[in-house]
Amino acid sequence: MNAIISASELADALRSERPPVLLDVRWQLSTAAASGQPFYGRAAYASGHIPGAVFVDLDRELASAPGSRGRHPLPDLEVFGAAMRRAGVSARTPVVAYDGGIGWAAARAWWLLRWTGHPDVRVLDGGLPAWGGPLETEAPTPAEGDFVPRPAEGAVLDADGAAALARSGVLLDARAGERYRGEVEPIDPVGGHIPGALSAPTSGNVDADGRFRPAAELRARFGELGVTPDAPVGVYCGSGVSAAHEVLALEIAGVPAALYVGSWSEWSSDPGRPVAVGPEPQ
């Protein structure tokens, strides 16, 4: 099954006898929007969303509180499961997640559902800007779903696992190149990257419209970084959100990958962990 769905395919699916559950996961890394006003995903949802979509709060339902495990650690599974059931997610119903267009937040929802056992979940390619169809402002009240999260083994890395993978396989850093190199660090206490990790910004996964590049192009991109079907692959970012976008891109390319959820926000909080700077993995 393809991990993404186009706007036209979604429109057809919503008219079908088995329409997907829609999750609106609009979120921004910074609380300040381009206009200088704070961004509130729930307010954006209330102003207009794809008909039938239910809002999901990334910070509260797709992550637990920031702390020693990073800015967006794994959510409590009871909280996550309850949020999914409230949205109408059942084990046998298809799910489509979308966000404001960048794809990070929708990919986080996709990854969590896949990790916890849902067999049929996709991301709207290009997000809400690609939709082009009608919007509504009324929040639906779907029937309670029955989805119960059951995490898979091997799909999540901790700090030690990420460090080991950087030496034994391929560990990709999904942040912008300047953060990888340590030239700038706007959020975390230390700039740089995990020694041995390779820079692979999420911007390289998509075209100018924010849609994922074709599978062949993604395979070529990751192949140049040493990703092969035989090499174990892991991904991290700042706090485990944009890294999910990279895992999704790898999925499109046909490559399974593990996610270091704590990512740089966890790694850099421990002064005992090594830090590499500059363009080379070291």
- Lowest mean pLDDT across 27-41, 85-99, 156-170: 27-41
For residue 68, how many other CB atoms are within 10 A of its CB? 10
The pLDDT tens digits for 218-270 are 999 999 999 987 889 999 999 999 999 999 999 999 999 999 999 999 999 99
Please answer whether residues 96 and 86 qualify as being in contact, where contact means their C-beta atoms are separated by less than 8 angstroms.
no
Question: Over the stretch 29-78, which tens digit does the pLDDT of each residue have?
Answer: 764 444 556 678 999 999 999 999 999 999 999 999 999 999 999 999 99
Burial class (CB in 10 A: 0-12, 13-18, 19+), 177: middle
Average pLDDT value for residue range 133-162: 96
Copy the structure tokens of residue 242.
């944009």
Long-range own/partner contacts, residues 166-169 (CB < 8 A, 24 or more apart):
166/194, 166/195, 166/196, 166/197, 166/281, 167/196, 168/232, 169/231, 169/232, 169/233, 169/234
Measured distance CA(110)–CA(146) in Å, rounded:
17
Q: What is the pTM of this model?
A: 0.95
Residues annotated catalytic, as ranges = 237
Task: Please identify which residue in the block is written with the tokens 């046998």.
Answer: 92
